[in-house]
Amino acid sequence: MKKIIPFLMALLLLAGCGAQSEESTYRQVNAEEAATMMEEESGYIILDVRTAQEYSEKHIPGAINIPNETIGTEDIPELPDKEQLILVYCRSGNRSKQASEKLVKLGYTNIVEFGGINDWTGETVSGEA
C-alpha cells in the first residue's frame, strides 16, 4: 500500500500538468455565422489569405489581403493587435485553415476561420481595397 500511494500521487500530478498544457487554437464557423459576427461585432479584421490577383478579382468589402504564402514566423505589421478578432477566409477553405494555424503559432488569440469566398453569399467587391 505504501508503494501505491506515491505512484497515485505522481499520476495525479502528471494528469494535472497535462490539463494545463492545452494548446491554443482557432475557431471555425461557416460563412453565415461569420456574416452574423460581422454584423454584431466591432473592431474586427477580415483577412483574405488568397493571392493578390485573386483578391483583386473579388473580395469581401473591408477585407485586407495577406497571402497565406507570406505568413511565416515574423510578426505581421498589418495585424499588430494579437488579441483582436480576425476573421480569415480564402477561396475554398484550405489556405484559410493553414493561415489560421500559422497565426495561432505567432501568438494570435482570437482567430475565426470561416472557409472560402466560394461559400460567401454576402456582398463582394472587385479591385484593390
pLDDT of residue 3: 61
Residue 69 is classified by DSSP as G
Considering the entire predicted model, what is its pTM? 0.82
Tell me which of 46, 66, 90, 117 is the catalytic residue.
90
What does each C-alpha distance from 52 to 7, 100, 118, 124 come to in angstroms? Answer: 58, 18, 17, 15
> At 74, is the secondary structure helix, strand, or coil?
coil
The domain limits of the chain are 24-119
Which residues of the chain are under the pLDDT cut of 50? 16-21
Q: What is the DSSP letter of 68?
A: G
- Which pLDDT belongs to residue 18? 43
CATH fold, domain 24-119, is: Oxidized Rhodanese; domain 1 (3.40.250)
C-alpha to C-alpha distance for 15 and 120, rounded to whole angstroms: 43
Q: What is the pLDDT of residue 128?
A: 73
Is position 17 annotated as part of the catalytic site?
Answer: no
Write the DSSP symbol of residue 24. Answer: P
Residue 56, number of CB atoms within 10 A of its CB: 15
In angstroms, the CA 32 to CA 120 distance is 8
